[in-house]
Amino acid sequence: METISVNSVSSVAQNAGRSLWSDALRRLRRRKTAMFCFAVIIVYFSIAAFLYAVDIFHIPLAVADWSRQIGPEYQPPGAKYIFGTDFLGRSVFRKALYGAKTSITVALWASLISISIGVPLGAMAGYFRGIIDQLIVWLYTTLSCVPYILLILAFALVLADKTLDVFGWKIPLSGTATVYLAIGLTSWVGICRLIRGEVIKHKNRDYVLAARSYGAGSGRIIFRHLLPNVFHIVIINFSLRFVGFIQAEVILSFLGLGEKNSPSWGAMIDSARLDLPKGYWWEMTAATAAIFVISLALNVFGDALRDCLDPKLRTE
């Protein structure tokens, strides 16, 4: 007969009165590495928000003027030039900061677009089943058959330099808007599959049957009962896929399909690849280091968030 330790019983008793979110937050605070990575993520987001505020309110700050020549061309990193200068004498450090703004903007909007498409479709497919489920499964199966990078490239080329008409509001699609629309419209398949599977598991549970017995409609059951109980999966997916969207933006910018009026990490790598054989390594190093740090921080924090939000681990 299996014995249960006193520590396990006390842990279960302590966690019994906590909600999933409060217990997950308590677990997350105990992970020092994850909290450090979260601080790094906050720094990146703060830089992007600060540069947006500078551009919107036209704040005259030297650090925000990335296009101004500050010194001779190809100056190596030093006390005067932190990350050196490029072939036009512009600060590589300022270009790297604006690259963070571009990548985070694209990843954030692409994540919101993919979630807004994938979550409702997955919930409807899992709840209604039948012909609706078959149509949605056919749609995302068809999309998943096309290689991801080729699909993004196709959408980016189709959307480039087009104008989107939304209720009479003309939205020009160029640069950043083209990139995050291309990524967002092609990356909702994974979250749709996850939500569909979770809704199938939850739709016959007691709380759903109780809501149905009280006369709740399908929309109310889906959005007021089912989705809140599987929303932790959306948050986990958001944190883990965010780094993939940043890397997709870097690839598109490297191929010349991204932002052209503002620096991006992909464009920095593209312009620095010809300078690398000449010994001018600092622009390539600055861009790749910035990508590496945010990617590592997002992956470590996303893994920790997944472990803390998993209900099966609450009693460990």
Tens digit of each residue's pLDDT (9 = 90 or more) over 92-107: 888 888 889 888 988 9
pTM for this model (two decimals): 0.81
What domain range includes position 52?
A: 18-58+78-313
* Domain-embedded: residue 2: no
pLDDT of residue 136: 92
Domain count, the chain: 1
Question: Is residue 45 a contact partner of residue 58, using CB atoms and an 8 Å limit?
Answer: no
pLDDT of residue 165: 65
* Domain-embedded: residue 67: no
How many CB atoms within 10 Å of residue 132? 14
* Domain-embedded: residue 45: yes
Cβ neighbourhood burial of 267 (10 Å; 0-12, 13-18, 19+): buried
pLDDT of residue 37: 92
- Which of 309, 274, 302, 218 minimizes the C-alpha distance to 38? 302
Residue type, 214: Y
* Domain-embedded: residue 126: yes
- Which of 214, 269, 216, 300 minimizes the C-alpha distance to 28? 300
pLDDT of residue 29: 85
* Domain-embedded: residue 29: yes
In sequence order, the 6+-apart residues with CB closer than 8 A to the CB of 176 are 102, 105, 106, 258, 259, 262
Domain CATH number, residue 197: 1.10.3720.10
pLDDT of residue 172: 65
Please measure the distance between the N-terminal and C-terminal CA atoms of the chain and give it in whole angstroms: 20
* Domain-embedded: residue 5: no
Three-state DSSP state, 18: coil
How many CB atoms within 10 Å of residue 145? 8
* Domain-embedded: residue 188: yes
- Which of 249, 101, 237 minimizes the C-alpha distance to 183? 249
- Which of 244, 249, 248, 238 minimizes the C-alpha distance to 302? 238
Instruction: Tell me the backbone φ, ψ of residue 90, rounded to 5 degrees.
Output: -85, 155
Q: How many C-alpha atoms does 8 have within 13 Å on its Cβ side? A: 7
* Domain-embedded: residue 294: yes
**Cα radius of gyration rounded to whole Å, the chain:** 23
pLDDT profile of the chain (316 residues), mean per 10: 46 54 79 91 92 77 65 82 84 88 89 92 90 92 83 78 66 73 87 91 86 84 86 84 87 78 84 84 90 92 82 54
